[in-house]
A and B are shown apart, each in its own frame.
Chain A
C-alpha cells in the first residue's frame, strides 16, 4: 500500500518526546548502575567517586529528559494537536486553560509523569543534601525511576503469537493507536476534535490534589531508600535521623494530599460525604498509616535503640504498599468495586512485576540483615513511653492490615477465578459499615495511647518515682475528658457505647496533649509538632462522630412506604421541588426560585429559610447547586453540590434528578412532538371550548375535562417572561385566557405566549400552565398571515429630508421628522443604546423605522403599516444634510383576522427538580483536626531540621 503523505501534522513533539523517553530510561538505568557501583566500591574513594560523578551526570540528564517529555505533552495539549492520542483523549476546544493541568494528569501516562517529576525533584534535593547517603539512596530512587519510565516506553516485544507490551507511550499519534478509515485522508487532522476532560475533574481541587498526593506518593521512596541503604551498607543506626525527617515530610504531604481528595469529594461530588471507604481512598490511606507507624518506631529507636527492625519493616512496607496501591488502581482489578479507578491499559503484568520486585527486594534485604540489626540487651519497661508508643504503632499497623485485607477482595476473587473460572466472587455487602466497625476501635486505641504515652517517660527505670506525676495528670485528663464527653453528648448523639468511647478517646488525646504542651514545650520545643498532630487526631475523632455519625438528611421523603426497614427508609433521601413553591423539610423551608444557564453549566437557585419551633425565620441563605451538560445538551455529565458553611455545621445540597425533558434536548423535542396540539384560530375577545379525556396514573379511570381558551389581546411587541428582545427580531405576542373545568377543581389562568423570528429562525415562547397540564403556543402559520420577511419584499431606497413626500407605487408617503429616542412598541432599548426613528405617514397611518447604535454597531428595526402593506427601514442618516436613507417596500396588505393558537392538553410539567439536602454538624472539627494532624508532622520536620542546623552552627 502506498504511504500517505499526511498534511498539517505536527510531528516535532513526537520525535523530541520519543527521544526524551528513551533517554530518560537509559539515563536512569545508567545512573542506577553507577550509583550501585559507587556504593559497592565505597571503600575505594577514587573509584567510588568517579562512578558517583557519572551517576550524578546521568541523573541530571534523566531529569532533563523527564521535563522534556512533560513539556512536549503540554505543548501538544496547549496547541490542541489532535493528531496525538493523548490530546484527543483529554483536551477539547472548550477546555479552559486553568484545567490544562487536570487534563494532563487525567490519564495514566500523565500521572506517571507527575510521579516521576516529583522523584526527579526529590532526587535533586537528595543529591545536594544526602551527603554520605547519596550513593545508596539514589541507587534506589533511580531503580524506581527505571521501572516507572518503562511504563511509558511503549515498546512491543514480539515472538510469534507471544508478545509483551512494555509501557504505553503518551506521545503516540492517534493514527498509530487506532485503525480507522479517516486516516486514509491526508488532511484528517482538520476533522478531528477532542474528547475533553471528564467534567467531574473540572474543579480547582483537581488542580492541586493530584500534585500534592503524588508528591506524598513519590516522597515515600525516600524513607524506603534510606531503609534499603541502611540494610545494604549495614549502618543501621545512622540512617534513622535523616530517615525520620523525610518520613515526617512524606507523611505530612501525603496526608494533606489525601485530605484534599476528601475535600474534593465533599465539595464537588454528589455522594454527600468526605470519606466512603472506596478502594482507591483506602489504598492511599494504608501507606500513610504504615508510614506513621514507622515514624513512631523511628522515634523510639532514636531515643532508646529499640525497634530498629520494626522501623525498617514499616518503611519498607510503606513503599511496597504504595506500589500495591498503584497496582490496584491502575491494573483494572478494582473495576467493579471502585468508582474512580483507572481502566485497564495492558500494563497489568508490568505493574505486577513492579510490585513483586520491590516486595521481594524488601523481604530479601531484611532477612539477609536481620541478625546484624542491633537490638539492646535490656528489655523496655511496661511503664515506659517507648513500650506504649510501640503498641500504638502496632495498632496503626493492624488498621493498615485490616483495610488492605478487605480492599484486596477483588484480588482474592481474581486469584480464585484463575483456578476456578465459575467462581462468582465475594463482595462486601456493606463496605462502609464493615470498615467503620473495625476502625472505630483503632481510633479509640490510638486516641487513648497518644494521651497516655505523653505522661510516661523514655527508658523508665523507676516508675514509682514518676507515679505521682502520672496519676495526677492522667487522672485530670480522665476527668477532663469525661466532662468534655458529657458536654459533647448534649450536642451530638453517639448511638452506641463504642461511639461514646470514641468521643471520650478523642477528648482524652486533646486534654493530655495540651497538658503535655503546657508543661514541656519550654524544655523541648520539638514536642510542639507532635502535640499539634495528636490534638488534631483527637479533634478529628470528635469531628467524625459529629459530622458522619450525626449527619442529618434534611430532605426526608414525605411519602411513607409500608414495610421498609429504617435503613431503607433512610435511602429514600430526595424530595421533589416545584419551581416557586416552598417546601418544608425538617426545620428548613426551601424554595426553588429559578435557574440560569452559562455555557454548559446550569445553576439552580435554592432559597433556604431555617425556622425555629415557633415558625419564625431565624436564618436565610441561598445555595446554588449546578448540573453540567455534555457537549450537545443531550445528557447531564455531572451534578455538583453547593454547601452553606457555618462554623458549627454545613448544609449540603445536591440535585439528584431533573425531568427527562430538562436532561436532554432530544427528549424535550420528542415530548414536544408527541403532544397533540389543536389549532384554534381566534380573534381578539373570542373564546372556544373543547374536551379531553385524561387518564389518572396507576388507576383504571379517567377524567373528562372541558377547556376554554380565549384570546384576550395580541401585539407586535412580544411580551413573555423568557423573551429577551434583540434588534432585528420580528415577533408577535398574545395574551391568552385558559379555563379548565371538570375534576376536583376548576382552574382559570391568563398567560402570555409569543413567537419570534430571529435571523431566519423561529423561536416559540409557549405558555405551560401546570395547574391544568396545558400548553399553549402561537401556531407558526401566523407568519403567513401576518409577517412578511425582508427577503420577500422588493425594497426601494429613498434619500430624503424631513417634510418631503415621496411616492411608492400608488401610495404617497410623507417623511415627517426624526424622533430622537422614541418609545415605540416594536423596539425595546437597552442601556447605552442610541436610537432615532423616522416618522413616516401615509393615509392617516404612521410607522417609525428605527436606526440604532448598540455597542458601536449600527443596526435598525423595521416598522410597518400592516393595513397598507408598507414596510420601512431607516438604514442611515446624514447629520450634515439632515437626510434620511429609507428603504421602503410595499406588499399585499395583510391584516390579522385571527391568531391561530396551538393548544395541547396532557402536557405535563417540567418545572421541578429532585433534591438531596444533608446537614453535617461539626464538620469543621473534622477538617481542623485532620489538617492540624498533618501540619503537626510538617512542624516536627521543620523543628528537627532547624535543630540540626543549630547544632552544626554551634
Chain B
C-alpha cells in the first residue's frame, strides 16, 4: 500500500498546486480605473445610471446595448454590452459585468444582474396576492 500512499500524496500536491493556480483565474471585482490600467478582462460591479442615455435598437444591431454604469468608486463610464438588452434590466439593483476597458468604453461580453427579491415589503406582496 506504500506506493499508493506516495501516489496519493503526490496527487494531493498536484491538486493543491492546481488549486493555487485557481488563484490566477480569480480576481477581485475591479473598478473602471483598474480596468483601464490593465486592459485585461475583469469583472466589475456597479449600478445602472438611469438618467444617462441608454441605447438599444435591435433594428440597427441586436447585439449592441449601451448604457452608463456607476462603479463602486462612483466613476461613471459608458458600457457596451455585446448582446441584447436583458429582461428586467431597469429593475436591477446592481450589475456584474465581465469585460474590458477599450478607450473610454467598457466592452462587456457577459452580464449578471442582481434583482431585488420579488417583493420589497410585505404590503406589496399582499397587494400582489390579492389582485385578481
Contacts and interface: CB of A to CB of B under 8 A. Distances in A.
Contacts of B83: 571-574, 656
Interface in A336-376: 336, 343, 375-376
12 contacts: A88-B129, A178-B126, A193-B131, A391-B7, A398-B15, A402-B19, A406-B19, A406-B22, A559-B61, A567-B109, A909-B59, A912-B58
Contacts of B4: 306-307, 380, 387, 390-391
A636 interface: yes
Contacts of B8: 394
Contacts of A387: 3-4
A242 B103 CA distance: 65
A888 B84 CA distance: 59
B28 A424 contact: yes
B14 A427 contact: no
In order of increasing CB-CB distance, the 10 nearest A-B pairs are A572-B63, A571-B109, A914-B62, A657-B84, A180-B126, A426-B26, A178-B122, A571-B82, A576-B62, A434-B25
Contacts of B132: 193
Contact of A405 (B22, B28, B63, B96): B22
Given A391-B7, A402-B15, A909-B59, A564 B27 contact: no
Contact of B88 (A561, A574, A635, A914): A635
Contacts of B99: 568
A394 B7 contact: yes
B1 A427 contact: no
B63 A573 contact: yes
Nearest to B42: A429
A563 B59 contact: no
A180 B58 CA distance: 43
A561 B1 contact: no
B75 interface: no
A424 B25 contact: no
A419 to B, nearest CB: 16
Contact of A336 (B11, B18, B22, B114): B114
A428 B58 contact: no
Interface string A575-598: 110000000000000000000000
Interface residues on A, range: 35 or more
A409 B19 CA distance: 11
Contacts of A406: 19, 22, 25
Contact of A576 (B25, B59, B109, B117): B59
Contact of B123 (A180, A336, A438, A575): A180
Contact of A697 (B60, B109, B131): B60
Contacts of B82: 561, 564, 568, 571-572
B58 A576 contact: yes
A195 interface: yes
A495 interface: no
Interface string A369-413: 000000110011010000100110011011001100110010000
Nearest to A637: B87
B85 interface: yes
Contact of A195 (B84, B98, B129): B129
A208 interface: no
Interface string A416-454: 000000001111111000100010000000000000000
B125 interface: yes
A564 B107 contact: yes
Nearest to B26: A426
A909 B131 CA distance: 33
Nearest to A631: B131
Interface in B101-124: 102, 107, 109-110, 112, 114, 117, 122-123
B130 A193 contact: yes
Interface string B12-32: 101100110010011111000
B1 A182 contact: no
A561 B83 CA distance: 12
Contacts of B63: 557, 559, 571-574
